[in-house]
Structure 1
Amino acid sequence: MPSIDILHEHSLPHAKARKAVQEVADKLSERFGIQYDWAGDTLNFSRAGVDGKIALAGTNLRVTADLGFLMSAFKGPIESEIRRVLDERFS
């Protein structure tokens, strides 16, 4: 499966970074039916064709996702949108 792996540095305090990740997850759930849950400081998410996680660690976060066959055709646009949202929320 094609994968997305993005490491993004930020300067937010941990609580604000976690809140920002939660807000992103809420929007994804509302717009695309993505299911998610927290395991410590890692938000795991999934829906048909996508399984991934957002892991908070100090001054960075890592977004990883495995894309199914149909979603792999959209890897470029998906990755671009993730980077845009990270820049917007964590800059």
Structure 2
Amino acid sequence: MTKRIQPQQTAAFYAQAVASFGISISAMALALAYLPAQPWVRAFLALGLLYVVTSTVVLCKVVRDRQELSAVTNRVDQARLDKLLTDHDPFKVDG
């Protein structure tokens, strides 16, 4: 039976991703707060930033869910094939 090795994320990679996200959001929030523009312009840009962030989170979830579904489907198909191969006896005579 072939065993698939799933790549694992390290704690450092996870921490880097979280830190990168936090820094980018903080930098954009500070830039919007100190932007020399009218309040409605800053509010519009802040709303756009919020939309980009939520869209990114949803996209990440969809991609992850599709990948997990694919992995589960592949495992089920592999288990069915393994069962068929173990149950098959080429020397069995019907009758």
Q: TM-score, normalised by structure 2?
A: 0.28
Bigger-Rg structure (1/2): 2
**Higher helix share goes to which structure?**
2
Larger relative contact order (Cα-Cα within 8 Å, sequence gap ≥ 6) = 1
**Higher strand share goes to which structure?**
1
